[in-house]
A and B are shown apart, each in its own frame.
Chain A
Amino acid sequence: MPSNRGLRLHPASPLFDVFSSVRSLVFVGVAALFAAGSDRTEVIIALVVAGGAALKGIQYFLTWYRIDATELVVSRGVIVRNERHIPFSRIQNLDLVRSPIHRMLGVSEVRIQTASGAEPEAVLRVLSEKAIAELQAGIGRVESSPTGAEAAPLVKLSIDDLVVLGLVSNRAMVVIGAAMGVLWQFGLTDRIEASLEGFAPALRGAGIGATAIGVAMFVVVLLVMLPALSVAMTIARFHGFTLVRNGEEFRLRCGLMTEYASTVVRERVQALSIRQSPLHRLLRRASIRIETAGGAKEGEQLISRRSFVPILPSDRAGEILEEVFPGVSLDDVEWRPLARGATRRMIKKALIVWLLVSIGAAAWLKLWGVGLAFVFLPVVIWHTIRTARFMSYARSGRAIMFRSGVWMRATTITLQERVQVVSVAENPFDRRHRHASLAIDTAGAGPIGHAINIPYLEAERAGSLRRSILSHMTEELSRSPSQR
């Protein structure tokens, strides 16, 4: 099947190329229209779009790819030709994105990720189902099972799960925030306020004040509209979510309108993080993120890392961990606390922050501020003590674990052989208490957002941990030569 001559993309490719460039041009166009609004700008925009479309058409005929024995070769470029060789062994992820239009034409956009950089190494826009199957077979990712017939999924989310996920994640908050920003930018909030005031006299007759309307609206938005919107957005994104392990790779697919499919090679997972918000804990749920080297700073690519498992019962987290890092278990983990005196230092730090905020509050709200500050004092101390108690680390077999947080809890696990750099740091305050912090760096773009950075350790312990992790790591690496 691997042929020596290059393969063309799907004939519909220029269409999608134009779509994607038009999408990025829309912003420029809208901005230009707002700025000038003359006929000439419209003509210029049309010309730019048409020119871009023509260029994409030419580009289609000059783009080809080839599946060799050990590498994928992608050649493109109108003026400057670029031939890119991607060894199969370096491919980290293969992501497919399929919007309703893609589905109508039976094609997908293919994104190939390697460990380098934030951008996908190659984007094949677009390939037919058959070409994708050939590509996957060539890369050696799919043994015999064609798409569809797979092993039993590790995680499968029902609509109920998605509703819970929508409520827990409160995805809409971000969108509403952005929308409010835009509204405010264009001065629309004033208009809304004005129209509200227009309503007011009518209602005042019924004995309802403007403030009451405001409060009522706020409550409705907060308790009804935001959650509803969150659930809708979550269902759109994660509908039909399944996570399957197929030999050495995980396959993840989801999406209502735009379908998204991703493969993550097990060996490439650098770290795994189990997260729980208070709501998660209340509902006994957790979410799992993973870190792979390179790629995925934004956009859909993030789904496979940020939402490796968007939501699952918290007692199943250990199961997923064992699937990702075989032989690593969350049971019988001996969590080691921070150094003696860590809690006292953290309280001291929290009190200094509290004092500064209190002074501000007192200056602004006078006696009320002072009162508020003292009401919050026990909360601050309680929160700090809880933080210090929960923050701990563990080593169990090849695994290094770190957990932290009071409200938002995160437990991050990596393997000794995945460690890149180990560092021990001491600041002047650390030195006074003979403390130090230990940072364990792994590869990855950081979608986990919970680095293994253990503060307030006894200095000697931090040093011996550093040496021990390094020697175990080099030992492990010399035993199995594969680098990550």
Chain B
Amino acid sequence: MTNAEIVEKPGTSQVSALRPEMFAGAPGLGEPARLLGSECPTCAERFFPRRKYCAACTGGGLNDVVLGPEGKVETYTIVRQQLPGSAMVPPYAIVNVRLGKGPTVQTVVREGYDSLDIGRAVVLMVEPVLEEEGQTYVSFVARVAADPREAK
């Protein structure tokens, strides 16, 4: 992990991204998430995380594209059983979130998952997901948008 990928939060322990390469720039704790994906110059298909070659047409030379933070729920489920090794404590929701023209990304909703519904607007946010040896790791999670019409 390089310094450029670490964000300091005043008065707390050091904060780093669980997977820094997933973000466009340094992720800011509590801020909307801007994800770094790829777009195929040949067929326009979009991917997250980044790839070297297009999964759809096999073309190369994919361009970086910034994705999020707004999307809508394609489907979701509520997980009730602890996955060994996971920092997520049930119950929590797994959501497939469609970001504009794509792609669909998968993440979790930890609070307010009762109001989840297919088609519901969500916002991807940078939040702490793991504390390990005095280190806080952030990633992107989804939050149900205040206004369901926020979806783009």
**Do chains A and B stick together as partners?**
no
- On A, residues with C-beta under 8 Å from B are none
Q: Which residues from chain B sit less than 8 Å from chain A, CB to CB?
A: none
